[in-house]
Structure 1
Amino acid sequence: MHHGIGYPVYNQFLWWFDETVRRDDLENLRNNLSDGLLARRVVSSRVPTARARWVRSPVSHSLDFHSQFIDEADIPAWADGRLDPDIDPETGLGWRLAAAPVSNGGTVVSLVASHMVADGGALIEAVRAANNRSKQGRLAPDADGIAAIGSDLRDAAEQARSVAGWLVNAAADALPIPTRTEPDAVVPRSRPTRSRVPADAMDSDWVSPHAVAEVEAGAWTAAAQRWGGTSNSLFIAVLTAASGNAGRASIGDSVQWSLPVSDRTPADTRSNATKIVKIDVPVTDASDRDLTTIRSISKAAFTAFAVRQAEGQAPTGISQALVQMLPDAVVARVPQPRDGAEGLASNLGVLPEDFTTVAGVRARAVSGRATFAGADAAFARSLDGGLTAWVCETGSSVTVTVHAMDPDRFADEDVLREHLTEALARWELSARFW
């Protein structure tokens, strides 16, 4: 995940505190994080086809504390600067905590981790544990010698069984067996009608635009309720409207969103425990603000997902075990699959107080995001994706954090902000952009 697709994927949380957070308290937080779930390093297996495995890492980056003040307008650029290539799970330095004082008062704090080290849920749990030492979780002691080889052998056998089962199922699905029960007919999804691509695109200068729209929490909740939805359905509606505004779909089309779902359990030490649920959302006229359709579509998809999970059904698509067996150099050469999704809509919900608070100081707002560091226009086009977005809620604010992965319709941050502003205004919402 970190090197295999050509560009490392980082997760980042950004806390904006209106009050000052002392450096000593941040150092304490860093020390606690260094003793928890993020303290891991990936090591290669000694047995062919076995997956690389995690071991505890005794090292971590020091606190990246900026003594000079930064202006509010420079916070996004400062956040981008925290995505550093020396954050690498193979060295055991897979994450970094950083902070800077804000010129108008307060503090901004960043936590970046390789997506391989931690998904959004794992980062939240790591910070909560670091703020509550009694709940601190850790990896099991490292296996070495014969025990490590035995562990690799067992994993290799399990991987082989998984791939063999996938191949058998794929072959069986391809056979024209008359007695097989035919699946229910699926209504084909209308493919989005794209607007014309501008001829003067500046590919060499393009980087994925990034915007954080902060909305007052009470206004956000009231808008969702007024039009028959929830925070999640409003979030998806805003993204769908923004994609339509940008010309990635037309009225009457439907666009598909990938919705991450965590199956993380208490005391879970997995770095990633995220599954994907997909929904198709109709693109409607700007006068249509009804959220009940998206709400019912999402509920049906989550219910069906829960049933599949309970029945132990394997996910569709290529076997992940097979992909994990391939070397990074091979995976990097494999074209990234175009699954038809318009993008990712990750709803982290209302963040717990022991995540939004450091040493008694509560953040006004928290932004979360995942990003391909350094991705260029050609790579973005290969994904055929539009928007990758996270929504986070605190007591006072809701942040919609968006990356645009379409260089032809989201040329820069100004364009992205314009489309987000128009989409939010459809539900009578306004935003403060970071």
Structure 2
Amino acid sequence: MTSPATAAGRTASNRLTYDDDLFLRTRRVLGVAVVNQTIWRLPVPLESRAVHALHGGLATGPLQRVVRPGRLPGARARWSASDLSLDPVIESTPVPDDAVLTWADRQAQANLDPENGPTWALAAAPTTSGGSLLSFVTSHVVADGGMHMGALQAAVAAAGFRADDVGAFASESGPRRLPKEGERIRTGLVADLRDATGQARAAVGGLRQAARQGPVPPMMAQQAADRPRPGPRTDDNQPAHPPVVVVDTDAATWHRAAHAAGGTANSLLIAVCTEILLAAGVATAGMPVRVSVPVSMRRKDDLRSNATSGISIAVDTTVTPAPERAGVIADMAQIRASTAAEFRGLAAGTRVDTLGPLKPLMQMVPDAVAKRAARDATAPLCLASNLGRLPAAFAAPLGTPASSVLMRGVTQGLTRGRLRQMRGGLDAWWSEHNGVATLGVLGLDIELLGEPGQVQAAMESVYARHGLPARFW
């Protein structure tokens, strides 16, 4: 995820943050669990001993945490260390090269439980071409993208595969440990009383600040909330399987294409995502398209499970392209300028967060209230997550650099009715390693991007216009 020059400092609290609580409520109240998954395509045969060594490193790392509720009303839940983990799944049947995503989808349905454990899962399989696959899945309650990557790098170091480039969570003394249940039992009630009192004060102050800010000004760009609210359908209760399409290209070509258009790698990602929506008919040319960009606020030794913020920009699609770029609609110079301005505001703390003042109150409300509030929640029309250049240790989790890596978010338990209600367009994740730039796109519009062929056709046309060679998984 893109990081601003300055970020929030490390929190010393062992309490769940608002974002931790949000993902926990999504699972508990709506029955929809969000997980992060990385899939590595490795050019070497599967070695079960290496998988077990990596698993051992993860089992002693910062992901071994579970949620414990507060003992008093209003007190936030807290983290406690856990000893429970799933054994690694090591399959013997080779996976065909054209069925990698099917295998990955199956692993992404791991039954993770942030309140009782386990909170992560590891799986591996050989491929028919002689290589191997590795899947690492974490509950989003326990780990955002930064924690997901950092914990894996610490496990790589613990397994002895690499001594350098091990990320923020490995040190000479090993990963920092959370308190186990009972270790603070004598001061637990006092701590909860203090936390509940602090939360109540913050909630009252937040309400006053929100009142001073006034109503939220409308965003004059296409977004999910602008799309028609769906009516009931006969298949609303059927499971939803939104398609994911993954494509590799040459990283150097990606950077050259971005630079030639006056942008950066991140600008090109946002442009490509916007143009996929336009190519599929999800967005309308001539109208700005609102794109959400996650931003990591994580710093060294930061053990927060979720430390991610975000920005939102309106992408201009009204420009007239030069003849040599006919069909390329998004203006990368405008994207670059708008993104840079939002990053500066986020880093300086001058950007107005309309939701921020209400977060303490929202974290205190009971589940029944949270469920009613979530009924009309929508997804971003476009979410473009730039994971950047992957650390070497993360790209080589078993000691050998992967030929291709996909990191993505997966929502378990979605129904077709819920997916329509979210009114999203697409989610995208981009990363780079060893000269390969990988883009994964998840189609969230059932009608226009509901099949892999629809997503791939839109991606092929956009990549061709930007002169990017496409190697689909």
For normalisation by structure 1, the TM-score amounts to 0.90
Corresponding residue pairs, total: 422
CA–CA distance in 2 between the matches of 1:264 and 1:13? 19
TM-aligned CA distance change 1:294 to 1:247, over 3 Å: same
2:85 aligns to what? 60
1:366 matched to 2:391:
no
Structure 2, unaligned stretches of length 5 or more? 1-22, 159-169, 321-326
Amino acid at match of 2:73: P
1:120 aligns to what? 145
The one-character-per-residue Cα deviations of 1:173-214 (angstroms, maximum 9, x if unpaired) are: 349xxxxxxx9xx7951447979x9xx997647521111111
1:255–1:341: 8 Å Cα contact kept in structure 2? no
Residue 385 of structure 1, CA deviation = 1.2
2:447 aligns to what? 408
1:306 matched to 2:347:
yes
2:185 aligns to what? 145
TM-aligned CA distance change 1:29 to 1:315, over 3 Å: farther
Residue 218 of structure 1, CA deviation = 2.1
2:426–2:441: 8 Å Cα contact kept in structure 1? yes
Q: 2:220 aligns with which of 167, 189, 207?
A: 189
1:240 matched to 2:274:
yes
1:79 matched to 2:104:
yes
Q: Specify the SS of the correspondent of 1:118.
A: coil
Q: 2:195 aligns with which of 130, 142, 155?
A: 155
The one-character-per-residue Cα deviations of 1:57-106 (angstroms, maximum 9, x if unpaired) are: 11111101111111011111111111235211112201101111111121
Residue 313 of structure 1, CA deviation = 6.8
TM-aligned CA distance change 1:244 to 1:194, over 3 Å: farther
1:27 matched to 2:52:
yes
Map 1:27-426 → 2, pairs under 5 A:
27-84=52-109, 86-133=111-158, 135=171, 136-142=174-180, 143-174=183-214, 189-191=220-222, 204=238, 206-284=240-318, 286-288=327-329, 290-308=331-349, 316=355, 319-336=358-375, 341-426=380-465
Residue 318 of structure 1, CA deviation = 6.8
Q: Specify the SS of the correspondent of 2:282.
A: coil
TM-aligned CA distance change 1:214 to 1:337, over 3 Å: farther
CA–CA distance in 2 between the matches of 1:64 and 1:326? 39
Residue 276 of structure 1, CA deviation = 1.4
Residue 109 of structure 1, CA deviation = 0.6
2:248–2:439: 8 Å Cα contact kept in structure 1? yes
Q: Specify the SS of the correspondent of 2:295.
A: strand
Q: Specify the SS of the correspondent of 2:381.
A: strand
CA–CA distance in 1 between the matches of 2:258 and 2:38? 25
Q: Specify the SS of the correspondent of 2:414.
A: coil
TM-aligned CA distance change 1:140 to 1:291, over 3 Å: same
TM-aligned CA distance change 1:294 to 1:337, over 3 Å: farther
1:19–1:106: 8 Å Cα contact kept in structure 2? yes
- The root-mean-square deviation of aligned C-alpha atoms, in Å, is 2.7
1:194–1:248: 8 Å Cα contact kept in structure 2? no
Q: Specify the SS of the correspondent of 2:71.
A: coil
CA–CA distance in 1 between the matches of 2:227 and 2:297? 35
Residue 353 of structure 1, CA deviation = 0.4
2:292–2:382: 8 Å Cα contact kept in structure 1? yes
Q: Specify the SS of the correspondent of 1:275.
A: strand
Amino acid at match of 1:255: V
TM-aligned CA distance change 1:194 to 1:158, over 3 Å: closer
TM-aligned CA distance change 1:153 to 1:270, over 3 Å: same
Percent identical: 35
CA–CA distance in 1 between the matches of 2:471 and 2:301? 37
Residue 373 of structure 1, CA deviation = 1.1
1:289–1:426: 8 Å Cα contact kept in structure 2? no
Amino acid at match of 1:390: W
1:223–1:427: 8 Å Cα contact kept in structure 2? yes
1:20–1:106: 8 Å Cα contact kept in structure 2? yes
Task: Report which stretch shifted further, 398-407 or 345-354.
Answer: 398-407
Q: Specify the SS of the correspondent of 2:150.
A: helix
Residue 316 of structure 1, CA deviation = 3.0
The one-character-per-residue Cα deviations of 1:141-177 (angstroms, maximum 9, x if unpaired) are: 23431222233222212221221111111223349xx
CA–CA distance in 1 between the matches of 2:279 and 2:120? 36
Amino acid at match of 2:359: Q
Residue 317 of structure 1, CA deviation = 5.6
Structure 1, unaligned stretches of length 5 or more? 176-182
2:62–2:303: 8 Å Cα contact kept in structure 1? yes
For normalisation by structure 2, the TM-score amounts to 0.83
